[in-house]
């Protein structure tokens, strides 16, 4: 029977030679597998079992020990992924018959609530870009459009002139999985877009009118998602708003403010372009948390 330390060495060699894995990847696998070896050596009074002797029950005990030691669920899930790969290699090499890590499920991750701005904070942010420069008008149009239509930043930078239907107050959006949807635009966003389009730099690419990017840099080239992030960071510093705010926070705020004001969850799902309503339901939890905070602040016998 192949000893566990030797099996680990062969697996790491396989990653290096056959899989051409990066040094960082190999280092991560080594740390995860050596930690397993140390756990079993200590648990068995100094004797380390061979890979063939390790059972799913043994690995459940290892996962429980990690949890009791305070490891994050993401860290435990990563270690389980390492173990599955290791024992899958062992099956290929013939020194284990079954993969004892396969039956183990990853710990369920708690879903954290997204960061959301209040309506007053959104108003402060949207008013921050200057209205007397072309780039200020562009930045205001970007922020207004993100919040008005609840767009992902990748959807925003992908917009072309042919996607805008300003007379109808709509914009065609290409979302995840190339799914298209029509998103409504409010009057503030429409006005900001029209002001920006009047001063937008000329297009140096010679694209057709419908394929011309809506949002460009000072040289007329399409903006990147990182450029939008840097732009937002500048206005967060100016307004003193929470630095955790990202372009996606405006999408979160869009959904939460709609639900707070009575929009039904199916409509919000359609507006966000979510394939599954379970993705949208996190905003109902957030809205409930907002209501609870308001209740505890206002009700005389809440606390």
Q: With contact defined as beta carbons under 8 Å apart, do 147 and 250 qualify? A: yes
DSSP symbol at 222: B
Q: Report yes or no on 47 lying in a domain.
A: yes
Per the domain annotation, does 35 fall within a domain?
A: yes
pLDDT average, residue stretch 109-124:
82
pLDDT at 265 over 60: yes
Q: Which domain holds residue 83?
A: 4-93
Domain ends where: 59, 93, 127? 93
pLDDT, mean over the chain = 89
In a shared domain, residues 70 and 126: no
Residue 123 lies in a domain: yes
Residues 168 and 283 in one domain: yes
How many residues are listed for the chain in this entry?
303
For residues 216 and 234, give the distance between their C-alpha atoms in angstroms, rounded to a whole number. Answer: 18
CATH of the domain at 265: 1.10.443.10
Binned at pLDDT 50, 70 and 90, residue 70 comes out as confident
Contact 59, 100 (CB under 8 A): yes
Per-residue pLDDT at 7: 94
- 64 domain-assigned: yes
In a domain, 142, yes or no: yes
In terms of domains, do 128 and 260 share one? yes
Verify that 222 and 89 share a domain, yes or no.
Answer: no
The H-or-E segment that residue 181 falls in is strand 180-184
Is 107 a domain residue?
no
Same domain, 31 and 84: yes
Active site positions, annotated: 152, 176, 248, 251, 274, 283
- The pTM (predicted TM-score) of the whole model is 0.61
- The verdict on 82 and 141 lying in the same domain is no
pLDDT bracket for residue 292 (50, 70, 90)? low
Q: Tell me, what CATH number does 70's domain have?
A: 1.10.150
Least-confidence region, from 41-50, 117-126, 157-166: 41-50
Do 83 and 135 fall within a single domain? no
Residue 303 counted as domain residue: no
126 and 229 co-located in one domain: yes
- The mean pLDDT value for 181-191 works out to 94
What residues have CB less than 8 Å from 201, skipping those under 6 apart?
Answer: 134, 216, 217, 218, 219, 220
Indicate if 151 and 243 belong to the same structural domain: yes
Q: Are residues 77 and 225 in the same domain?
A: no
Q: Identify whether 103 is part of a domain.
A: no
Q: In this structure, are 259 and 159 located in the same domain?
A: yes
Number of structural domains in the chain? 2
Label residue 263 by pLDDT band (50, 70, 90).
Answer: confident
């Amino acid at each position: 029977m192949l000893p566990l330390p030797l099996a680990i060495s062969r697996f790491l060699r396989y990653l290096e030679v056959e899989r051409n894995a990066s040094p960082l990847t190999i280092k991560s696998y080594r740390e995860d597998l050596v930690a397993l070896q140390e756990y079993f050596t200590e648990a068995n009074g100094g004797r380390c079992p061979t890979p063939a002797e390790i059972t799913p029950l043994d690995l459940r005990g290892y996962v429980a020990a990690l949890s009791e030691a305070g490891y994050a669920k993401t860290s435990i899930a990563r270690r389980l992924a390492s173990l599955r790969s290791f024992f899958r290699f062992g099956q290929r090499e013939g020194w284990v018959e079954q993969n004892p890590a396969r039956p183990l499920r990853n710990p369920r991750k708690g879903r954290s609530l997204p960061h959301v701005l209040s309506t007053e904070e959104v108003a402060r942010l949207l008013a921050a870009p200057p209205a007397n420069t072309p780039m200020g008008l562009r930045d205001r149009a970007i922020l207004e459009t993100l919040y008005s239509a609840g767009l992902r930043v990748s959807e925003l930078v992908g917009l072309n002139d042919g996607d805008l239907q300003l007379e109808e107050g709509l914009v065609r959006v290409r979302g995840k999985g190339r799914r298209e949807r029509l998103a409504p635009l409010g009057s503030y966003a429409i006005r900001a877009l029209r002001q920006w389009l009047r001063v937008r730099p000329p297009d140096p690419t010679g694209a057709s009118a419908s394929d011309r990017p809506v949002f460009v840099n000072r040289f007329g080239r399409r903006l990147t998602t990182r450029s939008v992030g840097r732009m937002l960071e500048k206005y967060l510093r100016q307004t003193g708003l929470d630095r955790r705010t990202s372009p996606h926070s405006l999408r979160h705020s869009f959904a939460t403010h709609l639900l707070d004001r009575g929009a039904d969850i199916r409509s919000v799902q359609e507006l966000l372009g979510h394939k599954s309503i379970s993705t949208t339901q996190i905003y109902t939890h957030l809205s409930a948390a907002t209501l609870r905070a308001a209740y505890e602040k206002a009700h005389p016998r809440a606390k």
